[in-house]
Amino acid sequence: MTPELHPGDLLLFDRRGSVVNWWIRVKTWSDVSHCEVYVGDGWTWASRNGEGVNEYPVDTSGLRRVLRPDAELDWPAGREWFVTVRGQGYDYLGLLAFYYARWQGRESPRMFCSEFATRLYRALGLEPFRADTDADGVAPSSFDYSPRFAVTWRA
pLDDT at 103 over 60: no
Q: Is 153 helix (H, G, I), strand (E, B) or coil?
A: strand
**What are 46's strand-pairing partners?**
54
Domain boundaries, the chain: 9-154
CATH superfamily placement of domain 9-154 = endopeptidase domain like (from Nostoc punctiforme) (3.90.1720.10)
Dihedral of the alpha carbons of 28, 113, 143, 14, in degrees to the nearest 10? -60
pLDDT at 16 over 70: no
Q: Which amino acid is at 74?
A: D
Quick check: 35 and 8 in contact, CB under 8 A? no
**Averaged pLDDT, 128-136:** 92
Q: Record the pTM.
A: 0.87
Q: Is 140 left (phi over 0), alpha (psi -120 to 50) or beta?
A: alpha
Half-sphere exposure of 151 (CA within 13 A, CB side): 10
Mean pLDDT of the chain: 87
Query: Rounded to an integer, what distance in angstroms lies between the CA atom of residue 76 and that of residue 13?
Result: 27
Cβ atoms within 10 Å, residue 18? 13
pLDDT tier at 46 (50, 70, 90 boundaries)?
very high
Helix (H) or strand (E) holding 108: none
Q: What are phi and psi of 17, to 5 degrees?
A: 100, 0
The closest of 42, 35, 28 to 65, measured between CA atoms, is 35
pLDDT at 102 over 70: no
- Kind of pairing, strands 10-13 and 52-57? unpaired
